[in-house]
């Protein structure tokens, strides 16, 4: 099966990317895997000012996955431009790189894009709109507030001609709303999903597993949520979708493609096996060969759903958008 995909005017040698926050800025994982075997990477989310991050432990495993609250630790936009992008330009020419951007206010997103936009070495931006926004209405992330989302995406759209991906939260009551808002505001693609707010407690100490308390759930526990989100949004917009959440095998990736994703991203699996993304790419190829699929694009949106008698989305659209991730800044 051929794996190449052309999207956003760029050639992806295969549909497997590393997800934001799980491969640093590439250099951090260069020793353990050859990133040039992948379709691309998304960098750690970049904030305007440097962030030291949250207290340890920042990551904890549990039976069904992982929970993290790294606190968006990163060197800040100016240092990323000076110290990280030149390395990316020199080493990752043959793959596609998205720089992930996170802010507390719409103005911060715009300022970060202004700082980075005319640097070389990357294809586009992925707007992480799922980090809690602590300057408005408690800590509701932009992705759960279509109006705020529109403000950020329209602002960034007016500043850059690069492709813009918008990364959505899995806990929106009706994902078609932020998806359509992002499309109308000028997004080129959507990334689904970010981590799901969660809490792991130690029953004996009665304390949370993470230093920051609550965090974001990733890994196998998130996979069915992510596949459903992609399927749901596929029906709401025509934008290219990037599926992420719990992918650890080629067949996991196929589920996302069938639901409607054109590309996939992997995070947690790389913590357990640093070369898992390369393995998933190979497994995808074998799957296609075994199943007689000539090109990966034939799988995209191929799930036998909807008119085939499968139950409609169980989420009633009347649920008010009051979900919140709480006061902790977790990643992503
Ligand atoms: C330790 C860790 C750090 C993360 N940091 C970010 C981040 O900086 N920005 C972001 O958009 N997502 C971040 N994420 C979320 C991932 O990009 C991804 O959406 C999520 O982990 C689901 O994929 P997975 O199950 O393959 O890990 C982070 C996830 C983990 C586990």
Q: Which residues pair with 61 in a beta bridge?
A: 66
Q: Which of 249, 266, 256 is nearest to 233 (CA)?
A: 256
Distance 194 CA to ligand 1 centre (A): 6
pLDDT for position 330 = 65
189: left (phi over 0), alpha (psi -120 to 50) or beta: beta
pLDDT for position 158 = 98
Token pair, residue 31, equals 């020793």
pLDDT for position 300 = 98
- Asked if 101 and 110 count as a contact pair (C-beta separation under 8 A), the reply is no
Q: Which of 218, 225, 228 to mutate to test the pocket of ligand 1 (most atoms within 8 A of CB)?
A: 218
- CA–CA gap between residue 213 and residue 208 (Å, rounded): 5
pLDDT for position 310 = 53
Distance 219 CA to ligand 1 centre (A): 9
Token pair, residue 10, equals 């760029």
Q: What angle do CA 94, 32, 281 make, to 5 degrees?
A: 55
Using CA of residue 48, residue 326, residue 214, residue 98, what is the dihedral sign? negative
Q: Whose CA is nearest to atom 13 of ligand 1?
A: 332
Token pair, residue 326, equals 């709480």
pLDDT for position 139 = 62
- Asked if 220 and 242 count as a contact pair (C-beta separation under 8 A), the reply is no
State the burial class of residue 147 (Cβ atoms within 10 Å of its Cβ: 0-12, 13-18, 19+): exposed
Return all residues near 32 (Cβ < 8 A) that are at least 6 apart: 274, 275
pLDDT for position 309 = 40
Q: Whose CA is nearest to atom 5 of ligand 1?
A: 21
Chain centroid to CA 63: how far? 22
pLDDT for position 305 = 80
Q: What angle do CA 273, 215, 47 make, to 5 degrees?
A: 85
Q: What is the pLDDT along the chain (332 residues), one digit of tens a residue?
A: 999 999 999 999 999 999 999 999 999 999 999 999 999 999 999 999 999 999 999 999 999 999 999 999 999 999 999 999 999 999 999 999 999 999 989 999 999 999 999 999 999 999 999 864 344 445 678 888 889 999 999 999 999 999 999 999 999 999 999 999 999 999 999 999 999 999 999 999 999 999 999 999 999 999 999 999 999 999 999 999 999 999 999 999 999 999 999 999 999 999 999 999 999 999 999 999 999 999 999 999 999 986 444 544 544 444 443 333 344 556 77
Q: What's this model's pTM, rounded to 2 decimal places?
A: 0.93
SS3 224: helix
pLDDT for position 141 = 84
SS3 190: strand
Token pair, residue 270, equals 């790389």
pLDDT for position 130 = 83
Strand order in the sheet with 196-198: 59-62, 65-68, 215-218, 196-198
Question: Which atom of ligand 1 is nearest to 220's Cα?
Answer: 25
What single DSSP character describes residue 145? -
Report the CATH architecture of 5-308. Answer: Alpha-Beta Barrel (3.20)
pLDDT for position 332 = 73
Distance 274 CA to ligand 1 centre (A): 15
- CA–CA gap between residue 213 and residue 68 (Å, rounded): 10
- CA–CA gap between residue 176 and residue 317 (Å, rounded): 10
């Amino acid at each position: 099966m051929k794996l190449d995909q052309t999207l956003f005017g760029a050639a992806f040698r295969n549909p497997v990317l590393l997800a934001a926050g799980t491969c640093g800025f590439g250099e951090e994982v260069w020793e353990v895997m050859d990133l040039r075997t992948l379709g691309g990477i998304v960098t750690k989310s970049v904030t305007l000012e440097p962030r030291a991050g949250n207290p340890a432990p920042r990551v904890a495993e549990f039976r069904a996955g992982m929970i993290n609250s790294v606190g968006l630790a990163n060197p800040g936009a100016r240092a990323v431009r000076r110290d990280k992008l030149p390395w990316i330009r020199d080493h990752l020419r043959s793959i596609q790189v998205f720089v992930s951007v996170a802010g507390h206010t719409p103005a911060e997103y715009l300022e970060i894009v202004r700082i980075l936009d005319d640097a070389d070495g990357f294809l586009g931006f992925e707007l992480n709109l799922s980090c809690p926004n602590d300057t408005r209405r408690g800590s509701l992330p932009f992705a759960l507030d279509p109006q705020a989302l529109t403000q950020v995406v329209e602002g960034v759209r007016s500043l850059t001609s690069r492709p813009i991906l918008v990364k959505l939260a899995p806990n929106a009551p009706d994902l078609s709303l932020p998806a359509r808002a992002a499309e109308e505001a000028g997004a080129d693609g959507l990334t689904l999903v970010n981590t799901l707010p969660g809490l792991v407690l130690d029953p004996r100490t009665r304390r949370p597993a993470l230093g920051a308390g609550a965090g974001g759930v990733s890994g196998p526990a998130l996979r069915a949520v992510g596949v459903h989100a992609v399927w749901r949004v596929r029906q709401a917009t025509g934008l290219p979708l990037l599926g992420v959440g719990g992918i650890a095998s080629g067949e996991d990736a196929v589920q996302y493609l069938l639901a409607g994703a054109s590309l996939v991203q992997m995070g947690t699996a790389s913590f357990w096996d640093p070369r898992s993304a390369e393995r998933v790419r190979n497994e995808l190829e074998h799957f296609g060969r075994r199943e007689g699929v000539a090109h990966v694009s034939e799988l995209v949106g191929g799930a036998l759903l909807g008119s085939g008698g499968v139950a409609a989305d169980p989420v009633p659209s009347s649920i008010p958008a009051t979900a919140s991730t709480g006061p902790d800044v977790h990643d992503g």
